[in-house]
Amino acid sequence: MHAIQLDGVVKEYTSHGEVVQAVKGVTLDIAEGEFFSLLGPSGCGKTTTMRMIAGFEEPSKGTIRLHGQDVTNVPPNKRDVNMVFQSYALFPHMNVWDNVAFGLKQKKVPAEEIKRRVGEMLEIVDLVGREKRRPREMSGGQQQRVALARALVNHPRALLLDEPLGALDLKLRQAMQLELKRIQREVGITFVYVTHDQSEALTMSDRIAVMKDGLVEQLGDPRTIYEEPATAFVAGFIGTSNLLTGTANGGVLKVGGGRVLVPGKEGEVTVTVRPEKITICTEEPQGELSIVSGTVTEVVYLGTYNSYAVRLADGVEVTVFQQNAVDATATAERGDSVWLSWQPQHSYAIGK
Amino acid sequence: MRRRLTPYLLALPSWLWLAAFLVVPLAAMASVSTQTGNVVDGFAQTFSFGNYADALGRYSTQLVRSLLYGGAATLAMLAIGYPVAYWIAFRGGSRKSMYLFLLLLPFFVSFVLRTIAWGFLLADDGILFGTLKGWGLLSPDFHVLATSFAVIAGLTYNWLPFMILPIYVGLERVDPRVIEAAYDLYATRFTVFRRVVLPLSLPGVFAGVLMTFVPAVADPINAQILGGTNNTMIGNIIQVEYLTNNNYPTASALSFTLMAVLLVGIFAYARALGTENVLEAAAR
């Protein structure tokens, strides 16, 4: 059984007399208990998609199902999903306890059970002893956990999270990523997570839908999204990627004074290769490898690795990450002529 | 050194202004309120606090009436004003500023003229009741002018914008996401209003009540123009005592009594509403 199903969902707005499509037709199946991310730059329709799942926006076309039940036109207060807002949206006039108990009170859960469940939830998010605090008396991370508890205490069929870690600093964000993952495993609820932060999505998700201009560009697990990007957009948005374009002849692409092996491809083709898959050396490598050559234009020391910018003979810039060796010396210096090589399986031909 | 003094120097004109036009007259009035004498022979300071008891004894009816009328008008303004403010804040869309402008439009006409216009409207044979009587919809001896209703209606009309504007500001400050969160947590429309929107707009209500109740209680114009002879309010008495009877001590004593009553009332009101709550919400 799918927890959430979107079928051909479209959202249109009228702005200054013009019809704008924020979401242009999204079809998704999200499995029960899955940690699912909607990833994309701002304006890609990810938040609108989530707001339609929550019920704050009605789709212009298409249907939304929760556990097989059509909820397309069901208002948010009758939907068994809860949301964690970007700015937390805690009730400023209520203390932590009343914030967390709000949903259960609306559902007319008996007082005894409310007491038990709120207590348990505060334990899970580590806020025991702070029941009487007001939201504004708490740090961002604590408010974040109140928002999470307020939603999770209702045992929703799915939890929607709208960039919930956006307002936190890096250290806290990383801690909360692991924390969220732990809580999700603990409660076993389907999480739908909206973010523009690719590393966040890669860290936490079971599956990711990469969105652009109101459409899903690629849907897959983090490994597939990263290693086998389907489009140039996905390759560029997730991590750093090198794009090489040329005409393939007999499975070989002639670029940058060298060759890229693209078995089975003919004609115009663009391939992507991740910087960390490339080996940089000063002597021409041998073997069944993709090999190009160029000149080092920049070397940046980044702690665990060095980043090289290499300009190929045809002017294309390629980025290479090289793990720092024991003595942490760079393999090449600025101005050196170098050879770049990688295994054929590390270059992916992508669609436009 | 100079830098540290700058803020105080910048604030100096306003302090001087307050001192010259608020503190000095208040002190002078306080002094007058305990003097005795008459306008021909002059007044002398005798610390006659009996002036207060005397004034209160003679005019307690009008004082109580003022508080009642002011209170009734404030309640009416709240009942009319809250929905208007709510509607502008949440349903106004891109026309919000136009609605607010319309709200302030009557202020382009003098307060007294507007009240006189109400007098015409409410007159026994005026456009409204005259016409209705002509159609036989009202009995010929029906009248509104010179009743307490006319005074309260006039007060309500005249001070209404001062109720609506602060409530509007209060409602505007409610984060729409907080309202969405309440819906998301299964609240019905009514519960969202009662548990979230209303409590968060209380600072606005508090300001609105303050800005309308105080001037409504002290206002002499509405009672004078719409109230006839049986609805005299404390503002009228102070005016008559001061300007007609030249009984400055009694007028001053009444003014101070009114101020004291209002201040006590406001603090009691703030207490009842939970100052902590109100200030806290306002500080948000």
Q: Clarify whether residues A70 and A180 are in a common domain.
A: yes
Both tokens of B275, joined, read 């100052």
Return the percentage of chain A with pLDDT > 90, whole number: 55
pLDDT of residue B87: 96
Residues 100 through 159 of chain B touching chain A, CB cutoff 8 Å: none
Q: Clarify whether residues A256 and A164 are in a common domain.
A: no
**DSSP character for A155?**
-
Q: Which residue of A has its CA nearest to B177?
A: A89
Q: Clarify whether residues A143 and A268 are in a common domain.
A: no
Q: Clarify whether residues A159 and A229 are in a common domain.
A: yes
A89 at B interface, C-beta within 8 A: yes
ipTM value: 0.83
pLDDT of residue A165: 87
CATH number at residue A130: 3.40.50.300
Give residue A339's domain range.
243-350
pLDDT of residue B72: 97
Q: Clarify whether residues A39 and A119 are in a common domain.
A: yes
pLDDT of residue B259: 93
Q: Which residues of B touch A76 (CB under 8 A)?
A: 180, 183-184
Q: In chain B, which stretches have pLDDT less than 50?
A: 279, 281-284
* Residue A116 placed within a domain: yes
* Residue A138 placed within a domain: yes
d(CA B45, CA B34): 7
pLDDT of residue A253: 87
pLDDT of residue B2: 67
- Mark which of A233, A257, A290 sits at the end of a domain: A233
Our count of domains for chain A comes to: 2
Domains of chain B: 72-231 (1.10.3720.10)
Structure confidence by residue, pLDDT tens digits, A185-226: 888 899 999 999 998 999 899 999 999 999 999 999 999 999
Q: Clarify whether residues A223 and A142 are in a common domain.
A: yes
CATH number at residue A299: 2.40.50.140
Which of B180, B186, B200 lies closest to A93 in CB terms? B200
Q: Clarify whether residues A259 and A219 are in a common domain.
A: no
B184 at A interface, C-beta within 8 A: yes
Q: Clarify whether residues A56 and A177 are in a common domain.
A: yes
Q: Report the gap between the CA of B185 and the closest CA in chain A (Å).
A: 5
pLDDT of residue B283: 47
Structure confidence by residue, pLDDT tens digits, A137-148: 999 889 999 999
* Residue A238 placed within a domain: no
Q: Which residues are paired to A210 by β-bridges?
A: A39, A218
Mean pLDDT, chain A, integer: 90
Residue A6 phi/psi, 5° resolution? -110, 130
Residue A127's contacts (CB-CB under 8 Å, 6 or more residues apart) are A96, A142, A145, A146, A149
- Mark which of A233, A251, A269 sits at the end of a domain: A233
Residue A167, pLDDT above cutoff 80: no
The pLDDT of A36-63, averaged and rounded, is: 94
Q: Which residues of B touch A90 (CB under 8 A)?
A: 178, 181
pLDDT of residue A326: 66
Judge whether B278 and B202 are in contact, CB under 8 Å.
yes
Residue B160's SS3 state is helix
Structure confidence by residue, pLDDT tens digits, A71-124: 999 999 999 999 999 889 999 999 999 999 999 999 999 999 999 999 999 998
Structure confidence by residue, pLDDT tens digits, A224-250: 999 888 888 998 898 888 888 888 888
d(CA A316, CA B232): 91
Which of B185, B277, B281 lies closest to A102 in CB terms? B185
Residue A267, pLDDT above cutoff 90: no
Q: Which residues are paired to A192 by β-bridges?
A: A36, A160
Closest by Cα among A189, A87, A58 to B179: A87
d(CA A301, CA A307): 6
Q: Clarify whether residues A140 and A275 are in a common domain.
A: no
- Mark which of A233, A254, A283 sits at the end of a domain: A233
Q: Is the dihedral of CA B97, B103, B105, B107 positive or negative?
A: negative
Q: Which residues of A214-243 are buried (b: 16+ CB within 10 A; e: fewer)?
A: bbbbbbbebeebbbebbbbbbbebbbebbe
Closest by Cα among A183, A182, A238, A251 to A208: A238
Closest by Cα among B235, B265, B70, B262 to B155: B70
Judge whether A336 and A296 are in contact, CB under 8 Å.
yes
Q: Which residue of B has its CA nearest to A154?
A: B185
- Across the interface, whether the CB atoms of B281 and A93 are under 8 A apart is answered yes
B205 at A interface, C-beta within 8 A: no
Q: Clarify whether residues A21 and A96 are in a common domain.
A: yes
Q: Which residues of B touch A154 (CB under 8 A)?
A: 185-186
Q: How many CB pairs under 8 A join A and B?
A: 67
Q: Which residues of B touch A151 (CB under 8 A)?
A: 184-185
Q: Which residue of B has its CA nearest to A57?
A: B180
The pLDDT of A125-143, averaged and rounded, is: 91
B32 at A interface, C-beta within 8 A: no
* Residue A170 placed within a domain: yes
Q: Clarify whether residues A312 and A214 are in a common domain.
A: no
Residue of B184, B190, B193, B277 for testing the chain A interface, max A β-carbons within 10 Å: B184
DSSP H helical ranges for chain A = 46-54, 96-106, 111-124, 140-152, 170-187, 198-204, 222-227, 232-237
Judge whether A6 and A15 are in contact, CB under 8 Å.
no
Q: Clarify whether residues A142 and A14 are in a common domain.
A: yes
B93 at A interface, C-beta within 8 A: no
